[in-house]
Structure 1
Amino acid sequence: MYNTYSTVRRLWATPLLTCVLLLASSLTAVAIGPAVLDVSGRVTDTGGEPLIGVTVRVKSTTAGTVTDLDGLYALSVDATDTLLFSYTGFATQEVAVSGRSSIDVVLEADAATLDEVVVVGYGTVKKSDLTGAVSSVKSEEITAYPTASAEQALQGRAAGVQITANNGAPGAGFRVRVRGGTSINASSDPIFVVDGFVGASLPPPEDIASIEVLKDASATAIYGSRGANGVIMVTTKRGQAGQTRIELNSSYTLQNEINRLELLNADQFAAYQSEINPDFEQGDSDTDWQDLIFRRGAVQNYQLGISGGSDNVRYYLSGTYFQQEGVIVNSDYERFSVTSNIDITASERLNVGLNLLAKRENTNSVATQETGSVIGVAYRFEPDVGIRDAQGRYTLARISDRFNNAVALTNEPRDQDNVDQFRGSIYGNYQLLPGLDLRSTFNASTNNGRNGFFSPRTLNPDAGINGSGRVRNSRNMSLLTETYLTYTRDFSASNLTLLAGYSYQRETSEFFVVGNRNFVTDAGYFFNLGGGSEPTIPNSGRSESDISSYIGRINYSLNDRYLFTLTGRYDGTSVFSEGNKWAIFPSGAVAWNMAREPFMEDSGLFSNFKWRVSYGLTGNRAIGPYSTLARFDDVFTVQNGTIVNAVAPTAVANNDLTWETTSQLDIGVDIGILEGRINLTADYYSMETYDLLFALPLPEYSGYSTLLSNIGRVGNKGVELSIDTRNLVGAFRWNTNLNISTNKNEILELPEGNDIFYNSGPGHIVGLGNTQVLRVGEPVGVFFGFQYDGVYQQGDDIIPGGSFDTEPGGERYADISGDGMLNSDDRIIIGNPHPDFIFGITNEFAYRNFDLNLFLQGSQGNDIYSYTLLELDLLAGLNNATTAALDRWTPSNTNTNVPAAQGGRSRRSSSRFVYDGSYVRLKNVALGYSLPAVVLDRFGLSRLRVYLSAQNLLTFTDYEGYDPEVGYRSGGGSSGNQNVGLDYASYPNVKGFTVGVNVGF
């Protein structure tokens, strides 16, 4: 059921795209300068096939054209100009005009792009000289389809990088892991570095030129105590000398939830309930709660970029607007941002620059912590009940806790986030001597956030207090200054690069929370907290931390074949106690480019054949400020009828705490075959993290629950493979990129070797017991419980054991211990959430002016623990159920594994609700058409491409739940390590259909 007005309003962007096209068609031609002569010619490959869409540009300007269907081009130039011919997959060629009017060009396949520059920590390096494990993702991949964040755009694009949506809500975050989780209690999130700013917030995908993922210790040790979980380097776009270039990118997407659960209707529900309670009275409605809360979602995305400059001043300015109406009513996300980069060549020796980002994000949520998951309520609520009762009030659940229905929770509460972000960076680079550069940067960022929540009087949980509201304000600031020297010297047969520098960063966080209850009216929401008469206890806090670092690196190349890298970082931080504040994180790497040996050069088969070996140590600061200190919390009591405040100890001091440290060995090979037509990169790695920052349980008589200590070890081993191929390079082009990676996670040591059990289920699902275990020799976060063995049939031997089912049709569990009883000794590991391998594969096709992109992404071998299905299909009469309940055991339906409906059945963790979570997903398919050069020239355009695409169009999986890409309790920090592969009523992922246009002036 959709609101007609809302649907029309969401379609306003479609005519806007038409207006953009009409505007482009009305533009007059842009002059390219004084024409001296007309030049024309034909561009072909080495086989004589015409190349379509080759960019032909006058050097140092943006004036130019592209080749047509026959590889022909024509443009007016000055007789002294130089032409640049560039084409994806082919080496760029420069040709001087020298007064000629006819110039034919033959482009050769690019030999593995060995001269491509890769961004690494505190510098760049040619790909041919790279000794570390680095994956690169380019701009065109990042913007292949509309995404709210760069993390989402990176999913499936880089080997060894696993990205999972925490949920599908507009503006929701993503769980990112590089080569697995390195910790248990501490964060395993990688560090993001944006244009050199460590820990900076990410710019919009449209403003990103490239992303490099640094994975092995050789690449990440330059970031020392922050490099254990990988480093993701983000480089934003910058201006180039030449005429001003204007680009407009616009798209509009319609979205729907990727799936729905099949639930019982009113009649089926009544029959099910009647088996438990013969006196059950069916309601007079038949309500599809999913249909009432879902709607058609929409995404609008616009970006306008202006770039250009002279040889001395270059600029890039971009504004973006992204707006998403979620597929659940009253959920949405909006982002405004401005990115500006300026680079100035002040003199032959001095370069200075400025990077700015300003961003505003607005989010309205519906699945809130205070009200519970709207999705979960829609699943659970009785279908025979309507939205409102006879008195016009929202209906409440009848058969269990009296919670509000899903429509009430969707429409009534207000949960709104506003975040303002600003980041600025200034740099100066001065050449002290030939080959010796001094670079200094100053970076500052601030994030100001406000979350407001209001639960009105119309909702049952707050009915006795007439509504409640609160506002939380927070501010996070980061200041980073770095200065380093780079010395480069080329000798006759070798190259040397030395780097040495100093870095200092301070991070400050503060917050306050205020709230009130008992409102006279709901009209003001949380903007009128003064309208309540029962203020809640306010809360506030502030924390600071500093990190000071000395960095150094040596790169040496001998005979262009033997490469050596030594790196070290000496870090000190305020979060640890005296004597443990400082640590050094070194690494070393050796590479041998075997293809450049005399015995290989004559073969003509390999353009690149480089072996790499690296080993090093990286760290994880992993704890917040003041974690080494004894800490106290505020407490309140009543004495003689008066509230008295005091403090009570809550944490034990531990002055011995220090970094988690990860050692890593990496062995890799880079191979280029057939002049770069086939490029392969493979890596094997073995990592071990020791001195884990672990919350060690303390005995109850101590008065404390845990003590944070450096105890335990975790290991990760895996293989990564990336293959890029140019399958066809003629008039019809076909490129393929495949990446696949494995990772085996294992706990190597725990305190005293003991198992550690815990429960990750939703708080209202009681009685489960422990659902997961940390055990030496097993991966982190494996599922734990009983082995489900079907249902009891008439005449079966009953295995006794407390509250377990004993009647025909009851749940049957395996007696693992063999003692003839069901008890805690029969619990085993029942699932592993970690995949055997993950992969992504992209195929790009182009013919004439058409292009087609197919992107598949998937995960294989991982298990999912579904709390959603556990809650629905317990069949104890506490809520609605899925249609699997139609196959429940009855005396006339005994050939089934679904138990009988039985009131009072206990909840317990078992393999019944553990499923294979493997999937293959058609992540994106896009078909585009670029206007030919003759049309572009007529209207003064450099580019105009229109495209249609579909996201998450097909998903192949055996998972019986909503969607195999689950993220319940798997957000950032420590919870993202222990709680993987869990599913409970998360906001659904979506599939979408997009129309877009890219215009260049």
Structure 2
Amino acid sequence: MKNRLLNQLWGLTLLLSLVQWATAPPVHAQGADKTITGRVTDQSNSDPLPGVNVLVKGTTVGTTTDAEGTFRVTAPANAETLVFSYVGYLAEEVAINNRSVIDIGITPDVKSLSEVIVVGYGTQQKRDLVSAISTVDAKQIEKVPTASFTQALQGAVPGLQMVSPSGEPNAPARILIRGVGSITTGTEPLFIVDGLPVASGGTSPLTYLNPNDIESVSVLKDASATSIYGSRGANGVVLITTKTGKQGKAQFNLSYNVGYTTPINELELADADEWRTLVGQARTNSGLTDPFRKEQDLFDQRQTGRFVSENIYDKTNTDWVNKVKQNGHFSQYGFSASNGTEKASYFISGQYRDQTGNFINTRFQRYTGRVNLDFQAAKYLKLGVRYTYSFEDEQPRATISPAVTPTDRNINWGAWPTFGNLYDNALPILPERWANGDAFDPLSLNNITYSADRTNSKRDVTESNQLASLFAELTPLKGFVLRAEGGVNYTVNNDQNWVSGRLRAQEFRPEDTGLDNRFQLDYIYDDGVPRFTWYDRRSWTFNTVGTASYKTEFGTDHRLNALAGIELIHSDRETWQNDWEDAASVRNPSEVGAFVRNPEQLLEITHNLHPQVRFFSQFGRVNYSFRDRYLLQGSIRRDGSSKFTPEDRFSWFPSLSGGWVISDEPFFRKDTPLSFLKLRGGWGITGNANIDPFLYFNQYFNWPNYPNRSGAIILGRLGSRTIQWERSNTYDAALQFGLFNDRINGSIGYYYTKTTNLLLDFPVAPSIGVYGTNTINTTALDNVGSMQNQGIELEINSVNVTAGSFRWSSAFNFTTNKNKVLELFAGFDGDPLQLSFNGLTTVQEGQPLGLFYLPEFAGYDDSGNVLVREIDREKAAQQEYVFTGNDVRNTGNSQNVNSVIQYGKTGLPTFYGGFNNTFSYKGLSLNVLFTFQGGNYVYDNIGLRRVGNGNNNLRKDLVGNTWTPQNTDAPYPVLTWNNRENQPLDPSKPAQSLSDRSTQNLHKGDFMRLRTVNLSYALPNGLFKKNFMKGANVFVNLNNVATFSKFSVVDPEVLNNGGPTERNIGQGVIGGVPLWQVFTASAGVNINL
């Protein structure tokens, strides 16, 4: 693997060397130079243009015009052409023809304003937009050569926040547009690919889409843009348009990309010597003077299956993290072909990506193919096909430990390695193997490498995705277009898990170990039998849209564009789960096929038919323009969904917006630096239908459950007949500007969104008789709350320097977001634990979502134990936090009664953005992207700060940083045995469990990251005049280069991977060791044939 990567990088290095040789500047024949002067003006009004670049074509000789638009350039005797270029104007080439004076008028480039932008169910010119829409084109996506196109959105779109805390293959990510708009439902945007809605799954949206197939991405942010999608538009809409064939010569492109990844920003653990020292300190501090190993050989506690006499406590130093960590590598191959005529066009592409992860035995492979066809079947009829297929084959890192499922004499599912277990329980003093080569403790989760070995356990996940659509456009009259489109998104996910009998315990029996009773094990275990589980999920969404649009002009002042349509969506899914178990035959994964085919080994088959979901919608939109400077847009949609009762199934979602191009007014002065000015504003209503279907029905469960039988059918959830969409009212206004002929351009805007009908669990009387899984469930779900988000978006694009062939441009965006919960359910008394994430965060009226709820750190007592500020409990019961003036030890009891709402401190950032710089010289281009966010807090709940009873790892930063009489200002408290107060064995002092939960572990989460560095070189066209190649581009790309943050324990970019509620109110809580952030380096070449 290593040699393969080195060979690939060596080959690229050789290619770059050849390029450097081939593109060395030619030696010109000596001759008399000639001086050329002239003047450059705006062709539309004859105004002189300062700062125009004047370049002698084929050379590096050039100059710029002065304040009067004049220039002087000395050109070689054989020079033939001058090139004039200026921001906001079309480039012009002028033949010299032995002239010494050349005056020219250059034409304004109206493309930036007439550029066509994809919007909901159509397109609009950028100049006519009266909505908050940001775009990312193919060139921007190509600068970030990653597995998922969403990486290209990070830091590029104002108002869009993307959280991607891991570089693993197929790693999770989360996209938010203008903040979190819900408490208990999904907040991810709606994704549309070529008009077909696709599911994002909450994280990892559209990893199966080939980024090189994308022509453009439009991000719809305000309600005037998203209300056309009605109940699915509350969280924003991301429209993805793929490439099509263009008229002209056929294009054939080849691409190759290779790179490697390595983990960064990891949590460092104590090694064996440090661990033994810290444990010894804890025991000494607790009055236990004997070394830990002398009281009881540690391995007698841990080794399952046999007891050993050898004592290797002092002989082992296992770095488990480095045993399972590796540098990953990837390679990616792609091609595309396209062409077009007046009658037909095609775009065909394919890509293969092979990537190994940074956890041993993890791998991700993806195959994608696309065919886009367009036919002009008749003068008035256009037909089109969009089809893409992807197949993903993943060997993932196991993330959970299988549940214990007793069958016959086998008492556990099997031990798979977990990321948290690697850091929690794989101690450095535990050996990987005994001296005779046998694995140490194979039946627990502690021997990570043994469990991760695919001959002992294996997990394979495959997923195929098909997106297919057909459309027909009929134009019976000028300006009148009828369009019909139908599509399907079909997904098949297959998850296979196999566990060897070597990892499964069987045939437990009592054994008199003769050990001290405090450490005696009642049972030991032998190997069990293998088990195999196959999980299959199939989902499909059918989408049918019919629209009628009409464009017309009245005289020279009026333009009208109207759209009407209907849409039907039908979603369905099925799941199967089969479990097999074999007594003896399967001992390695190669036998799984025969194992599965034996029906006698089948334990259980589960087949679930999930509720179908249907939407039926009618929508319309009208755009009107008067004199191209007064703009008006109105839209409305009526949505119906099977998720709700027939009485509340339909709802209306309107919007209204307008714009004024001030710079086109006669009174607007043309002799100022301000070249463009436009004011726009809008209002609209959208909905959020990201909820489970049929919540209006009562739900019943088996309870209680007994082995092989059920007890009774009980009411598990109370349905609500009035449940509806969450609704968002959005107000948006912005000022768009251009300076110095749009050399500097951008916008500044304000948005306000109020979400009502929030779906929340509210209390109901216990006498109703609603039961949960094991306890009385005294809540029901209904629309009972409201919340708001507001903020400012700033975007500035500029061309900073243009000097000859050198150009430096920048793009900066900055977004603020202020979240506030306005209202919760009736009767909410402010109890912080009524809406909470693990008791660490809370939801309160009048406050941001997910406030931290922690005791106030007050230092250490004389023994080094954490002190917290005591609160008046009677007043706290009324949600009034008054400190008594006393400081008390932070025990398990005191943390609960002394927790305080940390006002203003939440895991949601209050600002974020990106700063991109591009430097180009001839064919060389350097792109540098910084991203940042701040105003949020992160809570370090990772733990590993206390010794406990020697069963867990310890953080390296504890070494020399814990409280001692000589180090009273240490960042960590005194170490104690079993997390107890200093003298737990003294019967005169009641021992209490000590707690780490306090504001001592709450940190600011601000960070700035050098996200991407991309260096590319386009080989000169002259190299390819006499061969089959039209052009080539070589590049080097770095991702996650450096991170700057005061929080240095782990990477500050935190993602909660739980359900919607956990993601929304638990953001910022680092509940366990997070996945590794990854630095990526890659190089590649793109060839045009």
Q: TM-score, normalised by structure 1?
A: 0.87
User: Residue 516 of structure 2 aligns with which residue?
Assistant: none
Match of 2:588 among 497, 500, 523: 523
Work out which of the residue numbers 777, 787, 790 in structure 2 matches 1:714.
787
List runs of 5+ in structure 1 lacking aligned partners: 1-5, 26-40, 55-68, 76-82, 762-767, 794-807
1:903 aligns with 2:977: yes
Q: 1:538 aligns with which of 602, 606, 619?
A: 606
2:692 maps to 624
Partner of 1:826: 898
1:395 aligns with 2:427: no
Q: Percent identity?
A: 27
Gap change, CA 1:387 and 1:697, over 3 Å in 2: farther
Assess if the C-alpha contact under 8 Å between 1:367 and 1:987 holds in 2. no
Deviation at 1:74, TM superposition (A): 12
8 Å CA contact 1:510, 1:543 repeated in 2: no
Contact 2:541 2:572 in 1 (8 A): yes
Partner residue, 2:770: 703
The CA deviation at 1:792 is 1.5
Kindly provide the amino acid, as one letter, of the partner of residue 843 in structure 2: L
Corresponding residue of 2:196? 197
Give the partner amino acid of 1:405.
Answer: N
1:488 to 551, 558, 576: 551
Q: Does 1:676 align with 2:718?
A: no
Question: Which residue number corresponds to residue 289 of structure 1?
Answer: 320
Count of matched residue positions in the alignment of Structure 1 and Structure 2: 933
SS at match of 1:912: helix
The within-5 A match list for 1:112-511 is 113-165=112-164, 167-199=166-198, 201=206, 203-277=209-283, 278-281=290-293, 282-370=313-401, 371=416, 373-374=418-419, 376-378=421-423, 380-390=425-435, 392-396=437-441, 403-411=445-453, 412-459=456-503, 465-491=528-554, 492-511=556-575
- Residue pair 1:969, 1:982 contacting (<8 A) in 2 also: no
In structure 2, give the amino acid aligned to 1:209.
Answer: E
**Structure 1 contact 622–693 (Cα < 8 Å) conserved:** no
Contact 1:276 1:877 in 2 (8 A): no
Relative distance call for 1:507 and 1:861 in structure 2 (3 A) is: same
Q: Provide the residue aligned with 1:780 in structure 2.
A: 849
Give the partner amino acid of 1:420.
S
Q: Does the alignment pair 1:8 with 2:42? A: no
Please, which moves more after superposition, 338-347 or 585-594? 338-347
Q: Who is 1:933 aligned against? A: 1021
What letter is aligned with 1:286? N
> 1:747: Cα distance to partner?
1.1
- The verdict on how the C-alpha distance between 1:677 and 1:112 changes in structure 2, with shifts beyond 3 A counting, is farther
Q: How big is the alpha-carbon RMSD for the aligned residues of Structure 1 and Structure 2?
A: 3.5
User: Which stretch of structure 1 is more off in the superposition, 726-735 or 556-565?
Assistant: 726-735
Alignment of 1:981 onto 2:1073 = no
Q: 1:810 aligns with which of 865, 868, 874?
A: 865
Cα separation, 2, equivalents of 1:585 and 1:551: 9
| Aligned-partner SS, 2:182 | coil
Preserved contact between residue 468 and residue 519 of structure 1 (Cα < 8 Å):
no
**Alpha-carbon offset, residue 964 of structure 1:** 1.2
Matched to 1:754, the amino acid is: D
Is the CA contact (8 Å cut-off) linking 1:498 and 1:555 kept in structure 2?
A: yes
8 Å CA contact retained: 1:760, 1:979: no
Moved more, 574-583 or 451-460: 451-460
Deviations 1:213-246 (A, max 9, x none): 1000100000000000000011111110111111
Cα distance between partner residues in 1 of 2:77 and 2:1037: 30
Which residue type is aligned with residue 654 of structure 1? Answer: S
Taking the aligned partners of 2:638 and 2:544, their CA distance within structure 1 comes to: 16
The 1:921–1:722 alpha-carbon spacing in structure 2 relative to 1, beyond 3 Å, is: same
The secondary structure found in structure 2 opposite 1:458 is helix
| 1:917 to 1:458, Cα distance in 2 relative to 1, 3 A | farther
Distance 1:580 1:359 in 2: 38
Q: In 2 relative to 1, CA 976–52 (structure 1 residues): closer, same or farther, beyond 3 Å?
A: farther
Q: Distance in 2 between matches of 1:645 and 1:402?
A: 33
Q: Secondary structure at the match of 1:538?
A: strand
Contact kept, 8 Å, 1:298 with 1:324, in 2: the verdict is yes
Q: Deviations over 1:904-957 (max 9, x none)?
A: 324453222222221111111122222112212233433211122211111111
SS in 1 for 2:610: strand
Map Cα deviations across residues 134-188 of structure 1 (whole Å, 9 max, x no partner).
Answer: 1111111112122111222211110110111264321123111000111111111
CA distance in 2, matches of 1:756, 1:391: 59
TM value normalised by structure 2 = 0.80
Inter-partner Cα distance in structure 1 for 2:1028 and 2:859: 71
Structure 1 position 789 matched with structure 2 position 858 = yes
Aligned-partner Cα distance in 2 for 1:695–1:877: 41
Deviation of 1:586 (Å): 0.3
Tell me, what secondary structure is at the counterpart of 2:277? Answer: helix
What is aligned with 2:67?
A: none
Q: Deviations over 1:450-500 (max 9, x none)?
A: 011223333367877534331110111011110111111112211111111
Alpha-carbon distance between aligned partners in 1 of 2:950 and 2:711, rounded to the nearest angstrom: 46
Whichever residue aligns with residue 785 of structure 1, its letter is: L
**How far, CA to CA, are the matches of 2:758 and 2:502 in structure 1?**
48
Contact 1:212 1:233 in 2 (8 A): yes
In structure 2, C-alpha distance between the alignment counterparts of 1:74 and 1:418, rounded to whole Å: 60
Of stretches 163-172 and 856-865 in structure 1, the one that deviates more from structure 2 is: 163-172
Distance 1:699 1:299, change over 3 A: farther
Q: Residue in 1 aligned with 2:411?
A: none
Q: Could you tell me whether the CA contact under 8 Å between 1:759 and 1:770 is conserved in 2?
A: no
**1:754 and 2:753 equivalent?**
no
Distance 2:329 2:834 in 1: 37
CA separation in 1, counterparts of 2:137 and 2:912?
20
- 2:757 is aligned to 691
Give the direction of change, closer, same or farther, for the CA distance of 1:547–1:596 in structure 2 (3 Å limit).
Answer: same
* 1:945 and 2:1014 aligned: no
Shift in alpha-carbon separation, 1:208–1:824, aligned structure 2, 3 A: same
**Structure 1 residues 72 and 524, CA gap change in structure 2 (3 angstroms):** farther
Inter-partner Cα distance in structure 1 for 2:37 and 2:445: 73
The range that moved more, 488-497 or 272-281, is 272-281
What is the CA distance between 1:542 and its match in structure 2? 2.4
Taking the aligned partners of 1:390 and 1:73, their CA distance within structure 2 comes to 81
What letter is aligned with 1:713? S
User: SS of 1:691's equivalent?
Assistant: strand
Matches of 1:826 and 1:133 in 2, distance apart?
46
Counterparts of 1:633 and 1:73 in 2: how far apart (Å)? 89
1:415 Cα deviation after fit: 2.2
User: What does 1:840-855 correspond to in 2, within 5 Å?
Assistant: 840-855=914-929
Whether the aligned pair in 1 keeps the contact of 2:1006 and 2:1052 (CA below 8 Å) is yes
Preserved contact between residue 382 and residue 880 of structure 1 (Cα < 8 Å) = yes
The 8 Å contact of residues 315 and 342 in structure 1, kept in 2 or not, is answered as: yes
Deviates more, 1:873-882 or 1:360-369: 873-882
Counterpart in the other structure of 1:964: 1052
* C-alpha separation in 1, matches of 2:474 and 2:37: 44
Aligned position for 1:745: 819
Q: CA deviation at 1:883?
A: 2.2
- Confirm or deny: 8 A CA contact 1:790 1:897 kept in the other structure: no
1:106 CA drift (Å): 7.7
CA deviation string 1:692-749 (max 9, x = no partner): 1223344555233232211111111111111100112342101100011011111111
- Secondary structure class of the residue paired with 1:284: coil
2: CA distance between counterparts of 1:635 and 1:968? 31
Cα deviation, residue 539, structure 1 = 4.8
Contact 1:922 1:952 in 2 (8 A): yes
For 2:309, the equivalent position in structure 1 comes to none
Runs of at least 5 residues in structure 2 that lack an aligned partner in the other structure: 21-35, 41-48, 60-73, 200-205, 284-289, 294-312, 402-415, 507-525, 772-776, 873-882, 889-893, 980-992
